[in-house]
């Protein structure tokens, strides 16, 4: 994926296939997946779900009712998880990692 996103527009099906070939992926399998009706259905459902949740950009992170848009560094992701409560611990360690006891 990093290789695909490193390619500047235009991004296309052919770009995806070229990158797949460059990294040694199964190009025929990827092409079949891209062209399948199931892939189309899944993507349509995911796009509709994102829109209904207010997603306007990729990537977007939804955590406990909060929306965070754009690529975020690991330290910010850890901070978000602690600040919104889903990690389940009561405090952070000095390095920002989970450092507390689990809440009941």
What pLDDT shows up at residue 80?
Answer: 82
pLDDT value, residue 7 = 62
pLDDT above 70 for 98:
no
- Global pTM reads 0.57
Q: What percent of the chain has pLDDT over 90?
A: 39
Boundaries of every domain in the chain:
2-52
Q: What is the pLDDT of residue 103?
A: 46
The single residue listed with the structure tokens 């977007």 is 60
Structure tokens at 15: 């770009």
pLDDT in tens, 41-82: 999 999 999 999 999 988 899 887 888 999 899 888 888 877
């Amino acid at each position: 994926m990093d290789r695909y996103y490193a390619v500047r527009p235009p991004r296309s099906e052919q770009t995806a296939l070229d990158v797949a070939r460059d990294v040694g992926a199964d190009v025929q399998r990827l092409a079949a997946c891209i062209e399948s009706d199931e892939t189309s259905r899944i993507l349509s459902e995911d796009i509709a779900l994102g829109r209904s949740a207010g997603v306007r950009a990729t990537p977007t992170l939804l955590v406990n009712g909060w929306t965070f848009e754009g690529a975020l560094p690991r330290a910010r992701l850890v901070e978000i998880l602690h600040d919104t409560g889903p990690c389940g611990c009561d405090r952070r360690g000095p390095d920002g990692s989970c450092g507390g006891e689990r809440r009941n």
